[in-house]
């Protein structure tokens, strides 16, 4: 999980926190550290993030925050302040020419993680059933 932290040594822009920083998520976490798992944002409705994307009439600020987080390298946006606006903004970014490859790669990682959990739970269930006396399930 990426926290809404300000880390000047990694991201010199004072208006960009780790959640929306390609320097932190893509370059450091995925590149230098080689992390291949699912990257999840902290809750997107938290003040540390929303203060950087203040509400403005006619401006989809929740959606802009979600797009910036995904562009930075996050796979999952947790608890956006406005889910519909965030989804619409991500869809609009893809329709405007932003590569959907980031979203697809994140979706594949989430699918693999989900299947891994399902298989592990099934193996636990089978293992427990095998240990029970005959006739019990």
- Alpha-carbon 28 to chain mean position: 16
pLDDT band at 8 (very low <50, low <70, confident <90, very high): very high
Query: Looking at the predicted structure, is the pLDDT value of residue 22 above 60?
Result: yes
Question: Helix axis angle, 83-95 relative to 61-72, nearest 10°?
Answer: 60
Read off the pLDDT band of 69 (50, 70, 90).
very high
Is there a domain that residue 9 lies in? no
pLDDT score, position 93? 85
- For residue 92, tell me if it sits in a domain: yes
In a domain, 25, yes or no: yes
Residue 110: its pLDDT value, please? 67
Quickly state the pLDDT bin for 41 (edges 50, 70, 90).
very high
Answer whether residue 12 is part of any domain.
no
Considering the domain boundaries, does residue 7 fall inside one?
no
pLDDT in tens, 76-118: 888 998 888 888 888 888 888 877 666 666 666 767 667 777 7
User: Would residue 1 count as lying in a domain?
Assistant: no
Q: 26 falls in which pLDDT band (50, 70, 90)? A: very high
Euclidean distance between the first and the last CA atom of the chain, given in angstroms as a whole number:
37
> Has residue 33 been placed in a domain?
yes
- The residues pairing with 41 across neighbouring beta strands, listed in sequence order, are 2
Give the domain range for residue 53.
Answer: 18-131
CA distance 123 to 35: 26
Give the model's pLDDT for residue 15. Answer: 87
The count of domains in the chain is: 1
At residue 49, does pLDDT exceed 70? yes
HEC letters along the chain: CECCCCCCCCCCCCCCCHHHCHHHHHHHHHHHCCCCCCCEECCCCCHHHHCCCCCECCECHHHHHHHHHHHHCCCECCCCCCHHHHHHHHHHHHHCCCCCHHHHHHHHHHHHHHHHHHHHHHHHHHHHHHHCCCCCC
Answer yes or no: is 5 within a domain.
no
């Amino acid at each position: 999980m990426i926290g809404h932290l300000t880390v000047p040594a990694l991201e010199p822009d004072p208006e960009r926190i780790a959640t929306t920083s390609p320097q932190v998520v893509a370059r450091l976490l995925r590149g230098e550290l080689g992390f291949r798992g699912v990257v999840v944002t902290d809750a997107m409705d938290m003040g540390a993030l929303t203060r950087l994307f203040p509400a403005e009439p006619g401006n989809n600020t929740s959606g802009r925050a979600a797009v910036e987080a995904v562009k930075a390298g996050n796979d999952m946006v947790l608890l956006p302040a406005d889910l519909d606006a965030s989804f619409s903004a991500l869809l609009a970014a893809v329709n405007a020419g932003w590569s959907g490859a980031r979203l697809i790669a994140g979706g594949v990682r989430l699918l693999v993680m989900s299947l891994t959990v399902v298989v592990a739970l099934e193996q636990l269930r089978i293992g427990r059933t095998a240990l029970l006396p005959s006739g019990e399930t």
